[in-house]
Every structure is written in structure tokens, then in C-alpha cells.
Amino acid sequence: MTRSRPTMSDVARSAGVSLKTVSRVVNGEGAVRAETAAAVNDAIRSLGFRRNEAARTLRSRERSRMVGLVIKDLANPFYSAIARGVEEVMRDRNELVIAGSSDEDQARERELTLLLCERRVDGLLIVPTGELHRYLLPELDVGMHVVFIDRPPGDIEADLVLLDNVGGAHSAVDHLVARGHRRVAMVGDDMAIYTARERWRGFCDALVDAGCEVDETLVRVGVHDAVTAERVVHELLALAEPPTAIFAGNNRIAAGAVRAVAAARAATELVSFDDLELADVLSVPVSAVSYDPADLGRRAAELLCRRLDGDASPPQRVVLPTRLVDRLPLAAAA
């Protein structure tokens, strides 16, 4: 049978004192004789009593020392690294991070966010799904601080930390063009997703800037996973005029592309936005637009902390740079 949590009334009975005396000891209010305080503390230890911080916060309107983190998928290494970066910053401030996955479902994101607000978190960090966030306006009006990560909100003004998606994609295609490629394919995620749209824009801009045509027959979007990416890349490689190089819009797509290129024993060169684990030992070389996803979490958490400490400046947009990691063979493409 599960035993209920001990209460302050239980401590008072065990120590033989009044409930008010226990409250004074627990809250460090003083005005309690040393031997009485010692008896109360002995009872607390013996019973395993813990103060209800959430209830105390509601009564006193003190900060809860908790922040909420809503991300797409905690099981995805990209998002778990963001969560790790957030925790690194908040741990130093003795703040607890409560995290949940939205699974790219806007209704679930809203549900999680409002549940966190009900629990009186001090602030929110959100990797948004979709572009509808006016439901947060009542929370912002009462002083809730919100920082968005990786993607902007669509219909409110708020702090934002994201990657240079356009510049990173541009550098990937520049790299391929410099190696002699003109038939460059792109395999990307759903264009409803901000990062996918921005990477598509960088891809197109780079080809146009190089005087190359954006060949729509070499573009595949709406690809969410490695299995689909593998099938799509097989289709591209089977074209009468296949691409000589492929830009993969994220690491899941790149993983599928590697399998397809390896299976076809094609000479197709690959560049991924996002690095791949063990990329330097893969049978198919993959260059990458690289960055530290944990830094997204750290920078967002630092910005939230400044807000919690009283920074009332206008909403900030922080764009983190990327770098290209070149792993392709030295010989240029024909």
C-alpha cells in the first residue's frame, strides 16, 4: 500500500509543537527556541517531510525556480542536445528544467505550454510547431517570459535564437559548385517548416548566384525520415540524367541518402545540413553544414535568464553562424 506524503501537521504531532511553529521553522522565520527548532528538524528528517514548493509559490507569488522547455522530440539527438544546453545554463542558477515533446503537433505544443504555465514556471523555451502563438498573449501580458528556439513564432513578437539556415545552405551549394557540379539535387523536409523553407532559399540563391539553373526535377521535399529519403534518392539516381551531387536538408535525410548512394555505388557527392554521427568513417563521404545544437539551447537559456533578471529591452533575434566541414575527396568532379 502506498503511504501518503507526510504533511506539516504530521511533523507538528511528531515534534509535539503547533503547526505555526513548524511553519516558522520550515520557512526560516526565526522566533523559535533552538531546542524546539531541533525537535522540529528531527521530525522532518524522521518522517521524510518535503515542503510543497509549488503551493508555496502560488501563495507567495515567488518565483518557482522552474522553466519549461517544449521541443519536437526528446529522442532526436538534435533536440536532446538543445535540452542539454538549456540544462547546463539553468543548473548554474539552481533552476529545474521541465521538458516535453510536441511531436511536430501544434495542438500538443499548445497543450504542453499551457500546462507548464499552470504550474507557474518562471519562463518558457519553445521550439515552435507551426505559426500560431497568439494563445500565449495572456501569459505574456502577466509577465511570462518566452524564448523561441530554431524557428520563429508566426504571429507574436518574442525573443528568438536560430541558425543561419540560408547562409549554411548557400555555403553547402557553393562547395559543390566549386567542385564542378552543375546538376545539384536537394532533398528537404516539409516546406511548411521554417528551417526547410530557409534552407531551400539558400539552395536556390546559391545556384542562381553561380549562374546555374534550379532544376525542379532534381528537387524532392516533404521528406521526414531516413527511409523515405533513401527511396527518394534511389529515384533521383535512376533518372536519365541523375544529379552529380545532392544537398540533404537535415541529418535524417542525409542518413537515407548515404544508404542509397552506397547501394547504387554511385559517384554522387553529398553535403548535409547537420552533421552525421561517425561521418568521418562512413563509406560514402559526407561534407556537412556544422554547428553545435547545444549552443542553441545555451544561448536561448542565457537570453531567458536575462529576462528573468529584469532585462526589458525589445525582443531580440539571435542568429548563430554555421561552418562547412569538407570531407569530400580532393579530386574535383567532372
Cα 101 to Cα 48, 82, 121, 206, 243, distances in angstroms: 32, 12, 17, 34, 36
pLDDT at position 114 is: 87
CB 245 within 8 A of CB 269: yes
CB 199 within 8 A of CB 166: yes
Q: Quick one: DSSP state of residue 104?
A: T
N-terminal to C-terminal alpha carbon distance within the chain: 74
Residues 6+ apart with CB under 8 A from 329: 285
Q: What is the CATH architecture of 8-51?
A: Orthogonal Bundle (1.10)
Closest C-alpha among 278, 268, 273 to residue 185: 268
pLDDT at position 333 is: 44
Q: Where are the domains of the chain?
A: 8-51, 66-163+293-321, 165-290
Q: In percent, how much of the chain has pLDDT > 90?
A: 50
Closest C-alpha among 157, 147, 161 to residue 67: 147
- pLDDT: which is higher, 133 or 76: 133
CB 327 within 8 A of CB 279: yes
- CATH, domain 66-163+293-321, list 3.30.1490.20, 3.90.1300.10, 3.40.50.2300, 3.90.1150.10: 3.40.50.2300
CB 103 within 8 A of CB 316: no
Answer yes or no: same fold for 66-163+293-321 and 165-290. yes
CB 216 within 8 A of CB 246: no
Residues 6+ apart with CB under 8 A from 57: 63, 64, 120
**How many whole angstroms separate alpha carbon 107 and alpha carbon 246?**
34
Grid coordinates given for 110: 499548445
pLDDT at position 105 is: 87
How much is the mean pLDDT over the chain? 86
Grid coordinates given for 251: 541529418
Pairing state between β 323-325 and 286-290: antiparallel
Query: pLDDT for 143-166, tens place per residue?
Result: 889 999 999 998 888 999 999 999
Query: pLDDT for 242-267, tens place per residue?
Result: 999 999 999 889 999 999 999 999 88
* Phi, psi for 215 (deg, rounded to 5): -90, 110
Average of pLDDT values for 289-301? 94
Under the banding of pLDDT at 50, 70 and 90, the label for residue 57 is very low
Domain 165-290 sits in CATH at 3.40.50.2300
pLDDT at position 305 is: 95
Average of pLDDT values for 126-141? 87
pLDDT at position 63 is: 63
**How many whole angstroms separate alpha carbon 314 and alpha carbon 299?**
17
Query: pLDDT for 194-241, tens place per residue?
Result: 999 999 999 999 999 999 989 999 999 999 889 999 999 999 999 999
**pLDDT above 80 for 60:** no
**pLDDT above 60 for 2:** no
Under the banding of pLDDT at 50, 70 and 90, the label for residue 137 is confident
pLDDT at position 177 is: 94
Q: What is the pTM for the complete model shown?
A: 0.75
Average of pLDDT values for 79-101? 91
